[in-house]
Amino acid sequence: MQFCFIRDGVSLVMPVTPGRYKWSNGRRMETINISQLGDVYRPGGRSRFAGSFEFLLPAQSYPWMEAGARAEPQYYLDYFNAWVKDGKPVRLVITGTEINALVYMEEAAQEERDGTGDRYVTVSVREYVELGAVETTNPNTAAQNSTRPGDALGNGEKEQSVAVAKGDTLSIICRRYYGKSSAEYYNALAAFNEIKNPHLIYPGTLLRIPPESVLLGVFA
């Protein structure tokens, strides 16, 4: 498992994976008071993650550091400070898990504890959501256009192409076209399109979207 922050072509892998972390998904509950029944609860909108992660940034090489990591705390802190300052979203990926999300970096607080030069940084993040116009559908034509993208990619169907949009990930694209977003699917789509890092794609990139049977045959 690795913690990786990705933005503008930079893939910043943390030199030491934390021994523990917390990530939560939830939904706000609305309270409605009904006469004679009292409070009744019903699910509201999804709540976004807000929390922090603590990372050790070593000032010297240790055998348990991630491969290719730098024993240079300021290298990582420069990125964190810049991302906090400009207020633009950064992609957080925790490999080996389903966590792959755009986040705002709210704060990067650092400290030195033992005189070794190693530094500890606590990165506070808030999950990002892109605001955009809501697309409405004419109810008279909705039934005629109810086919999901994934329905068009069954066995025997032709390959499609799609341009990566801002905020897209391979897992999001797989859910959109196949109804599944597991590692099996996005790793297969990366291999099919000869993408070395399945967690790093760029807006405007043209992806080939094969039928599901062809996609999963990549690893057969």
Residue 165 structural domain:
147-219
Instruction: Quote the mean pLDDT of the chain.
Output: 81
Q: Which of 2-11, 40-49, 113-122, 208-217 has the highest mean pLDDT?
A: 113-122
> Do 103 and 155 share a structural domain?
no
CATH number at residue 82: 2.40.30
CA 105/CA 82 separation, integer angstroms: 10
What is the mean predicted confidence (pLDDT) over 125-143? Answer: 56
Do 115 and 151 belong together in one domain?
Answer: no
Q: Are both 49 and 9 inside the same structural domain?
A: yes
Where does the pLDDT of residue 56 fall: very low under 50, low under 70, confident under 90, or very high at 90 and above?
Answer: very high
Q: Can you give the pLDDT at residue 134?
A: 42
In a domain, residue 12? The reply is yes
d(CA 53, CA 65): 17
Q: Of residues 63 and 8, which shows the higher confidence score?
A: 63
My answer on whether 121 and 166 are in the same domain is no
Residue 105 in any domain: the answer is yes
- Residues 152-197 have pLDDT tens digits of 454 446 788 888 887 788 888 888 888 888 888 888 999 998 898 8
User: Could you tell me the strand order of the sheet in which 50-57 lies?
Assistant: 10-13, 3-7, 90-94, 100-111, 119-127, 50-57
159 and 104 share one domain: no
Q: How far apart are CA 93 and CA 3, in angstroms?
A: 6
Residue 28 lies in a domain: yes
Report the CATH number that the domain containing residue 212 is assigned in CATH: 3.10.350.10
- Whether residue 191 lies inside any domain: the answer is yes
Kindly tell me if the per-residue pLDDT of 107 is higher than 70.
yes
Q: Given this model, what pLDDT does residue 72 score?
A: 93
Number of domains the chain is built from: 2
pLDDT-wise least confident of 51-55, 80-84, 121-125, 143-147: 143-147
How much is the pLDDT for 218? 52
Domain end, chosen from 95, 127, 159, is at: 127
Domain-located, residue 140 = no
Residue where a domain stops, chosen among 63, 95, 127 = 127
pTM exceeding the 0.85 threshold for the entire prediction: no
Residue 178 lies in a domain: yes
Task: State both tokens at 154.
Answer: 């069954």
pLDDT for residue 151: 44
- Pure H helices in 133-220: 139-142, 170-178, 183-192, 212-216
Paired tokens of 141 = 């034509």
The verdict on residue 136 lying in a domain is no
Q: Are residues 10 and 56 in the same domain?
A: yes
pLDDT value for 2: 86
For residues 115 and 29, membership in a common domain is answered with yes
